[in-house]
Amino acid sequence: MLVTPSPSRGRRLPREDDGSTLITVLIVMLVLTVGALALSAVIVNTTGMLTGSSNRAKAQAAVDAGIAAQTVRLENGTLVCGAAGGSAKVNGASSPSYSYTLVCGAGIATLRTTARVGAEAATRQAVFSMAEDAALPTQGGPGLFYTYGMSTRLNSYVFDAAHSEVGIDDFVGSAGVYASTGKIECGSGSVFPGDIYTKTGALQLDSGCTVEGNAYIGDKANVNGGTIKGSLIAPKNDSHNIAGTIGTTAGTAGGNAFLGGTFTLNNGTVYGSVTASGSGTSTLGSGTIKGNFRYKGSYGIWGTPANQIVKGALVKDAALAAPTLPEIPDWQDVSFTPVNSSTPPAAWAAEGYKLTTVSGTACEKWSGNSADVTSLAGSLTSPMIFDIRQCSGGFDTNAGGAKKEVKVNKDIAVIATHWYLSGTKFSSADGNPHTIFLITPDGQPAVAGPQCTLPAKGSEQLNDSSVDPKIAIYIYTPCQMKFNSSPATFRGQVYSGQLAFGGGVKVAFAPRHIPGYDFGKDVEPWPGTEGGTGATTFTLLSTHDVATTP
């Protein structure tokens, strides 16, 4: 008999809802897994946020503590302008450290601290005004060239340090060039050995011209590609231009621009700071100011943000005053009035000079084909003054038959209406150092300023004339003194009514003085050392957080 199996025993028959149950279980497991992962991420992110917040707070606390600590040092004088930046711990070896920098200039000190804790960083900046109990300006003495007026461009003007008696900076009260009136212009190949001064003239400093010291300019300053290794001081309320370089190394003394007006920075570099005390608009076009920028009016840009051009602080100061120039010595009249034809003025006699008054046929030794000064000055027994003002030809070696070499064995002075030194070689007859004075007295000593009156006229040194390193020549003339034709050399000093360069000349500095006259040779250079203690007072102007470079 065939038996049919019971459904309740043996193999279970499939049901239609078994698949849907499995899917449901899988979905529940997936949801639980995602929830677990999300919860884990929340926990991790929360922990990271708490850590980041803690590190950020620690970094902020470190920079605030750093500002406070370094401010105390700034005020007590242990942190000084010009010092390199550094780093320090806030409190103990385990605490966060911070780095700090101090940028001074333009009457502003910018203190900046930065701290990093983990991946977090903070930077804070404090800006102080600086009130200096500075020394008072004093009058400077004459330097390598003093000219009442400048009537030429100085190209290929080179200082010969090797044959100079002293460096310009070592000669108290001196400068490379004083120009009382007139513009100083120079270009390629020119090197001013020290400071340059104009009283009312402008400055045109083109590419290739270098000022080793400071530039004190009475009119508009155009630094058009040249270099001022010191600072620029230009008080006139004008639109100045900086398209060259001021300073040499950031953080050192000098390299600042003190301007009485506004200025345009056009691909220029200022290693120090800039003050612009004009009420107009300055332009931060392109280039770099590595210090601070303090301004009275306003400023504009060409595109690059101002805080990328100015590495220090930008500070508006409505009370900013124009700088002042040191007093340039006024023109000093020199006369020569002998007691008689063989007795010099008392001041000259006191220094051992005798006097020879030259006239008539004796003038032939000083000019023309018969010129032969060595025959007169090469075997003297004492210092001698030759007064040749009665010789209409003056001191002239341009004639073809003139003997070009002038040898001296004693100090001499030539008092003349002018000199024309063509290819003249000045040297020592005995191998010892000697001084030669070339003097055209002022035509009207009672009248202020240089008076070049007939028969006096301009003088020249040209056609490869040279001065031996044993000789120093002091030139005084109320007329124009012109140097022409390289490779001429000159050694000494020049004091002239006008100064002209028709070509290159290599110049060595040998300072002298005219007996009986004080040209300020003992005066301290600006700004001097009197009238102040040199102490500096710092006053906080502002403090704020700044963006930190990642």
- Token pair listed for 322: 């124009």
Instruction: Give a yes or no: residue 144 inside a domain.
Output: no
Choice between 348 and 521, residue whose per-residue pLDDT is larger: 348
Over residues 482-532, the pLDDT tens digits come to 988 767 889 999 999 998 887 678 889 888 889 988 776 444 444 433 333
- Find out whether 374 and 344 touch, Cβ atoms under 8 Å: no
Question: What is the SS3 assignment for 323?
Answer: coil
Which residues on adjacent β-strands are paired with residue 102?
A: 111
- Residue 47 is predicted with a pLDDT of 47
User: What confidence category does residue 250 fall into, taking pLDDT thresholds of 50, 70 and 90?
Assistant: low
Residue 304: per-residue pLDDT: 93
Q: What is the mean pLDDT of residues 196-210?
A: 90
Residue at 73 is within a domain: yes
Cα gap 430→433, rounded to integer Å: 9
- The pLDDT, as a whole number, for residue 344 is 95
Domain final position from 324, 357, 381: 324
The per-residue pLDDT for 535 is 56
| Most confident of the ranges 3-7, 25-29, 115-119, 337-341 | 337-341
Report the range of poorest mean pLDDT among 23-37, 91-105, 256-270: 23-37
From 303, 324, 345, give the residue that closes a domain: 324
- Bigger pLDDT: 205 or 65? 205
Q: Would you place residue 477 in the very low, low, confident or very high pLDDT band (cuts 50, 70, 90)?
A: very high
Residue 492 in domain: no
Residue 457 is predicted with a pLDDT of 95
Tally the domains of the chain: 2
Q: Which has more confidence, 289 or 51? A: 289
Q: What is the overall mean pLDDT for the chain?
A: 82
418-459 pLDDT per residue, tens: 999 988 999 999 999 999 999 999 999 889 889 999 999 999
Q: For residue 134, with 0-12 CB atoms within 10 Å meaning exposed, 13-18 middle and 19 or more buried, which class applies?
A: middle
Evaluate the omega torsion of the peptide bond into residue 527 and state whether it is cis, within 30 degrees of 0.
Answer: yes
Q: How confident is the model at residue 155 (pLDDT cuts 50, 70, 90)?
A: confident
The percentage of the chain sitting over the pLDDT mark of 90, rounded to a whole number, equals: 40
253 belongs to a structural domain: yes
Q: What is the pLDDT of residue 10?
A: 44
Q: Of the candidates 298, 324, 350, which is a domain's last residue?
A: 324
pLDDT for 331: 85
Residue 427: its pLDDT value, please? 95
pLDDT beyond 60 at 399: yes
Round to whole Å and give the CA distance between 201 and 183.
4
The highest-confidence range among 128-132, 495-499, 541-545, by mean pLDDT, is: 495-499
Task: Please choose, from the candidates 495, 517, 374, 520, the residue with its C-alpha nearest in 3D space to the C-alpha of residue 434.
Answer: 374
More confident residue, 128 or 417: 417
For residue 235, tell me if it sits in a domain.
Answer: yes
Alpha-helix residue ranges (DSSP H) falling in 260-302 = none
pTM above 0.85, yes or no: no
Within a domain: 16: no
Q: Is residue 284 part of a domain?
A: yes
List of residues 6+ apart from 388 with CB closer than 8 A: 358, 363, 366, 394, 395, 414, 415, 416
Burial letters 46-84, b for 16+ CB under 10 A, else e: eeeeeeeeebbebbbbbbbbbbebbbebbeeeebebeee
The range of the structural domain enclosing residue 275 comes to 219-324
Minimum mean pLDDT among 95-109, 184-198, 366-380, 398-412: which range? 95-109
Please report the pLDDT score of residue 306 as a whole number: 93
- pLDDT for 45 equals 52
**Collapsed DSSP state (helix, strand, coil) of residue 39:** helix
**Assigned domain for 111 exists:** yes
> pLDDT value at position 534?
45
Name the most confidently modeled range: 150-154, 198-202, 315-319, 412-416: 412-416
Using a 10 angstrom Cβ sphere, with 0-12 exposed, 13-18 middle and 19 or more buried, the burial of residue 498 is buried
- The pLDDT of residue 326 is above 50: yes
Tokens of 491: 């050694």
**pLDDT band per the 50, 70, 90 thresholds, residue 77:** low
